[in-house]
C-alpha cells in the first residue's frame, strides 16, 4: 500500500492507523498546491479532488476521503478493535463521530489554513466555530470515557487527534476544555502517533538524538 500525505494534514490520521496496525506501507509526500507528489507524479491523476489523503491499495485501487480510508484500514484487522463490526450499532456510532469530525470539527479549522490572513472579526468568528465543536467533544468525554467510543481507541480517535492537534499551530488554547486537552495529550503519547509525527517531520526523531 501507499499513502499519499501532507505533513501534519488530516492524512496523518491514516498514517497513525497504518502504524497502529503494523502494516507495511510506503509514504509519498504530496504538495497539494502544486498538485505534485514527491516523485513528480501528477497528484490529480491519482486523486481527482487534489487533496490528501489518498491510499493506493496493493491491487492498485485508490481510496480517498478520511472516513472511507480509516474504515477500510480498520476492517483489514477486525481483531484490532480499531473499528467495530459492520452491521452493529457501535459501527454506526463510529460513522456518526467520523462524519462529525470530517464535516464539523475539521471544517471549523479550515479558515486558518485557507492561505488568507484572517482579520480580527473573521478570526473571532472562526474561533467561535471551533469552540462549539470542541465543546461537543468535551461533552462526549464527560461521562468518564477514555476515547470517543468508550474504552477502546478507534480510527475516530486518530482523526480527532489530528484535527485537535492543529490547535497548537493556530494558537487556539484548549485549556477551557480540560477533558479534551487531556485526551489530546493522552493520544499524543501513543507509539503509533509518535512514529507518525516523527516520520512526517513534526517532532524530532528521538533515535537520532
| Domains along the chain with CATH numbers | 2-79+195-199 (3.40.30.10), 83-190 (1.20.1050.10)
With a CB cutoff of 8 Å and minimum separation 6, the contacts of 111 are: 118, 122, 126
d(CA 127, CA 132): 9
Residue 115 is predicted with a pLDDT of 87
Confirm if 65 and 51 have CB atoms less than 8 A apart.
Answer: no
Angle, helices 191-199/12-21, rounded to nearest 10 degrees: 130
Give per-residue pLDDT as tens, 87-126.
999 999 999 999 999 999 999 999 999 889 999 999 999 9
DSSP string for residues in 140-163: HHTTS-SBTTBSS--HHHHHHHHH
Comparing CA positions, the residue from 194, 133, 184, 138 lying closest to residue 161 is: 184
Give per-residue pLDDT as tens, 19-71.
999 999 999 999 999 999 999 999 999 999 999 999 999 999 999 999 999 99
Which DSSP letter does residue 42 get?
B
The pairing of beta strand 54-56 with beta strand 2-5: antiparallel
Amino acid at each position: 500500500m501507499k499513502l499519499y500525505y501532507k505533513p501534519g494534514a488530516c492524512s496523518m490520521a491514516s498514517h497513525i492507523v497504518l502504524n497502529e496496525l503494523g502494516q507495511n506501507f510506503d509514504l509519498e509526500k504530496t504538495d497539494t498546491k502544486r498538485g505534485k507528489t514527491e516523485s513528480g507524479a501528477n497528484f490529480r491523476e491519482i486523486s481527482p479532488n487534489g487533496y490528501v489523503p489518498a491510499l493506493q491499495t496493493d491491487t492498485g485501487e485508490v481510496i480517498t476521503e478520511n472516513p472511507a480510508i480509516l474504515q477500510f484500514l480498520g476492517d483489514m484487522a477486525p481483531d484490532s478493535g480499531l473499528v467495530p463490526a459492520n452491521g452493529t450499532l457501535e459501527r454506526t456510532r463510529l460513522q456518526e463521530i467520523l462524519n462529525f469530525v470530517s464535516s464539523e470539527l475539521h471544517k471549523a479549522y479550515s479558515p486558518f489554513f485557507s492561505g488568507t490572513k484572517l482579520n480580527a472579526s473573521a478570526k473571532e468568528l472562526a474561533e467561535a466555530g471551533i469552540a462549539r465543536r470542541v465543546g461537543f467533544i468535551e461533552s462526549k468525554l464527560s461521562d468518564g470515557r477514555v476515547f470517543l467510543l468508550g474504552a477502546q481507541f478507534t480510527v475516530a480517535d486518530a482523526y480527532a487527534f489530528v484535527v485537535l492537534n492543529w490547535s497548537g499551530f493556530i494558537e487556539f488554547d484548549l485549556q477551557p476544555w480540560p477533558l479534551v486537552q487531556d485526551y489530546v495529550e493522552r493520544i499524543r503519547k501513543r507509539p503509533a502517533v509518535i512514529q507518525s509525527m516523527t516520520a512526517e517531520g513534526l517532532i524530532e526523531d528521538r533515535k537520532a538524538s
